Chain A
C-alpha cells in the first residue's frame, strides 16, 4: 500500500489544491455577486467567468508540464546521485517533509482565515487594477485570467517542489493516486465552500484531517531520525542492513528501545505495517533516537499550538472590542509569524 499511496504527498497536494480551490471559489463568487445581477452586463459576466476558468486550466496544464519535468529530473538525479547513500537521503527528506507538513498544516485548520485573507487580497488586486490608468484597460480585461493563472501556477509549483522533496523516499508508483485524490479532495472542499455548504461539518473534517496530517508528520520526523541512525549503523556494518531481514543484526542493539522480529515496515514492502508506519510512524525496532524524536516532536507541536491558541484567544477578544483588521491578517500569522516560512510570503 505504501508503494502506491504516499500519505505525505496526498496531504501536500490536498492542501495546495484546497488553497487554489478557495481562490477560484472566491473569484467566482465575486463575479457572481458583481456581474450576475439583473442590471449588469450578462455577456461581460460570462466572458470574465471564462477568463477565470481559462486561467485555472491554463495554469494547471502548465503546472503539470513543468511539475512533471521537475519530478522526472528529480528522480533521475535522485537515482543516480543518492542511490548509494539512500538511507542518508531518505532520513534527510523525511525530516524535511516533516517540517514542511508541520509548517503548512496549521493553515488548513484555519480555512476561514485563508478565505478572508484571499477575499481581501483579491478585492485589493481588482481595485488596484482599476486605479491603474496606463495599464488599466489591459489588466482589467485580463486580471481575472491572470490571477487564477498565477495562483494555480504558484500553488502548483509549490506542491511539486514539496512533493519532490518529500517524495524521494517513496517509489515513483506511490505518487499518482495520492496526487489525484489530493486534488479531488481539495476541489471538493473548495466546491462545498463555494456552495456555502455546512461549514461546521467542514471544520470537523478539517480538524480530523489535520490530526492525521500531524500524526504523519510526527511519524516522518521519527522515521527521519531512525533512518539516519540506520545509515550510521549501515556504515558500521558495511553492508545492506535490510538484507538481514527483521531479526538479529537488522538493528543496532546499543540503541534499541524495543525490537520485535516481525512487523517490520521495511521488510518485503512492509504490508500493513508499512501503512502503520506511514500513518503513525510505527517501527518494529525502535531506537532511543526514534522514540525521543517522536516525543520531542509532539511536545514542540503541543507547545506551539497552545501558544497560538492563547495568543489568538487574546487577539480575538481584542478585535471584538477594537474592530480591528486582525483576523484577516492572521491568515499569514497562523504559522508565518513565528516561523517566518511557508504561507507567509504569499500574503506580501
Chain B
C-alpha cells in the first residue's frame, strides 16, 4: 500500500490546516416508517432517524463521543477506514474493544487520511439493520476528479425489515431453520426512504456517492436516460469507466460522475432493485424495487420506471485503479478460506471458514494481542473459533476464497483494501493453483468489499502494512450471525510497540467486569492454556452413536421375540388338529 503510506506522509504537511470534527452521539430508540407500510421501533442517534451523515474532509480528526442509550450493547465501526495506528477505534465488539453496554460512554478519536465514500454502523451482532447505519463521506478537494464535478451528492441504498433484528435472528439461527434461509427484507430503500427526489440542474456534473448499507440485499442501480462514469470504489479512485447499471453488494460503495442533460423537459427514474437471487423464498407481494427521481423540473411528471429485460450490471473486476498500481509481487504468505454452510448439533445452520464458525473470545482479540508478549505470534492464543491467522509485518498476503456455497457472498476486510487479482465465474469450484491458463489482473482494482460468485472463487492480495486485529467476514449480516468471520492478526509484535488501548475503552470493560488481559479464554497466566474458551455448538452426531445402536438392538430383539410368540401361538393349530 505504497500509495497510502505516501498519502499519509503528505497529509502531515497540511495537518495544520485540518480541523477536528466532533459529534456527540447518543444512541437511542425512536420510531420510523420509511417504506410507508409499517411503523416500527428503530435505533437512531439523538432521537433522530435516519442517523446523520458524517461529512468531513481528508486529514480531519473525527471525534465521536458515544453514549449508549439503548438497553442492549452497541458499538460503532467506520467501514472502510484503515485505522492505521488506531486499531482500538475500529469498533467491532469483542475484537478491538469491549461492547458498549447500556448507559456506558466511550470516545472514538482518529484522523482520517483516506478520501472516499464510507459508512459507519454498529458492529454488534445484527444491530445495524435496525437503523444504526449512515454514510461517512471524506471529501477530497484536491482529489484527481475534484475539478470534474460541480456538486457532490450521497445516495444510500438499503433494505428494510418490518421486524426487529433480535426476533428475526432468533428464528434464523434455530432448529426451525435448518436450511439457513435468511430473512427476506420487506422493502428496499434509497436514502432510507422511498420516492427520493434528486433535484438537478441541466448541464452540470454531479459526483454521486453510492453506499449500500443493507443488511442483506445487493442492489442493481441505474438512472434512466443517463450514463454513469465510475471514479471510485470503496475509497479507491479508479480510472473513469462508463456504466449503464451498477451492482452494489451490501457494504460496497461506488462514486460516479453524472452529467445532466441540457434540457429540462423530462424527469427520470432512479431505480434500485434488490437482487432476488439472494432470497430463498420470495414472499408474496414483495416489491424488490425502490424508485427515486432525477428531477429537472418539478412541474413535469415523475415517470414510473420502465421494465428491464435482464440485469446486466457493470463488472467491477474490469476497473483500473487511478494510481495504476500493479499486482503486488510474489506473496510471502498464501492461504485459502473455504466457505460452506452446515448444521451443528443444535440443529441450526451455521456458516464456516475452513470448518470453523466464528465465536467471539472472552477477551477482545486486540487486547490479547497487546498483552501476550512473544506469544502474540501464536495463533492458538486467540482461540480456536475466532479463526485466527497471524501475518508478519509487510507480508504480501494472497488470500484465496473458495465459495462452496450456492449463494453470493460479499466479503469485507477491515483495515485494508485488497487487490482483486482474480474472480471466477459461477460454479467454477475451488481455485486451481496449478492452472496456468488463469491470468491475474495486471493492474487489479482495489476495494474493501468484494462479491464472490456462487460456487466460485476469488484471489485477493494485500500488504500486511497495517499492524492490528482485523476481521474478515461476509457482510450479509445474517452470515455474521451464523459465524462467517475470520480474524486476521497483523504484525502483533509491531502493534505492541506502537499502539495502546485508550483508558476510556478499558473502563468500559472494567465496568462490565469483562476481562481485558489473557488469551481468548481470559487466561492471563498461561496463554497457551485455552481451557474454558468460547466454542461453537458441537457438530451433529455422526450416524449411529451408542444411543442409536442400543435403540436399534432393542428394536430388533423386540421384533424377534414378537415373531417367536406369534409362531408359538400359530403352532397351537397343530395341537388342535392332533386333538
Contacts and interface: CB of A to CB of B under 8 A. Distances in A.
Interface of A: 106, 109-112, 199-200, 203, 206-207, 210-211, 214-215, 218, 236-239, 244, 248-250, 252-254, 256-261, 280, 286, 291, 294-295, 298-299, 301-302, 305-306, 308-309, 312-313, 316, 320, 327
Given A249-B343, A294-B558, A257 B548 contact: yes
A5 B52 CA distance: 69
8 contacts: A110-B573, A111-B573, A248-B540, A258-B544, A286-B552, A298-B558, A298-B559, A299-B558
A237 B265 CA distance: 53
Interface in B385-443: none
A146 to B, nearest CB: 31
Contacts of A218: 559, 562
Contacts of A238: 176
B568 A309 contact: yes
Interface of B: 175-179, 181, 281, 342-343, 345-347, 349, 540-541, 543-545, 547-549, 551-552, 554-555, 558-559, 561-563, 565-577, 579
B432 to A, nearest CB: 27
B179 A252 contact: no
Contacts of A214: 562-563, 566
B373 to A, nearest CB: 42
Given A249-B178, A291-B551, A200 B574 contact: yes
A324 to B, nearest CB: 13
Q: Which 5 A-B pairs have the closest CB atoms?
A: A258-B548, A249-B178, A248-B343, A253-B347, A298-B558
A19 B233 CA distance: 83
B572 A215 contact: no
A260 B566 contact: no
A252 B343 CA distance: 11
B559 A258 contact: no
A252 B176 CA distance: 9
A278 B573 CA distance: 29
A310 to B, nearest CB: 10
B178 A211 contact: no
Contacts of A253: 175, 343, 345-347, 540
A308 B568 CA distance: 11
A316 B577 CA distance: 11
A112 B570 contact: no
B555 A254 contact: no
Contact of B566 (A237, A259, A301, A312): A301
A252 B570 contact: no
Given A215-B559, A248-B343, A253-B346, A309 B567 contact: no
Nearest to A243: B179
Contact of A210 (B343, B543, B547, B566): B566
A309 B573 contact: no
A210 B567 CA distance: 9
A237 B543 contact: no
Nearest to B574: A203
A252 B540 CA distance: 11
A122 B202 CA distance: 106
A244 to B, nearest CB: 6
B555 A294 contact: yes
- Among the interface residues A215, A258, A316, which one has the most CB atoms of the partner chain B within 10 A? A258
Given A237-B176, A258-B552, A291-B554, 15 more contacts: A112-B576, A112-B577, A200-B574, A203-B573, A211-B563, A218-B562, A236-B175, A249-B179, A249-B349, A253-B343, A257-B551, A258-B544, A294-B559, A305-B562, A309-B565
Contacts of B558: 294-295, 298-299, 302
Contacts of B349: 248-249
A161 to B, nearest CB: 25
Nearest to B579: A320
A238 B543 CA distance: 25
Contacts of B541: 256, 259
A295 B552 CA distance: 10
A316 B578 CA distance: 12
A311 B110 CA distance: 92
Contacts of A206: 570
Nearest to A235: B176
A286 B552 CA distance: 9
Contacts of A312: 572
Given A203-B573, A253-B347, A258-B544, A301 B551 contact: no
Given A215-B559, A306-B565, A316 B573 contact: no
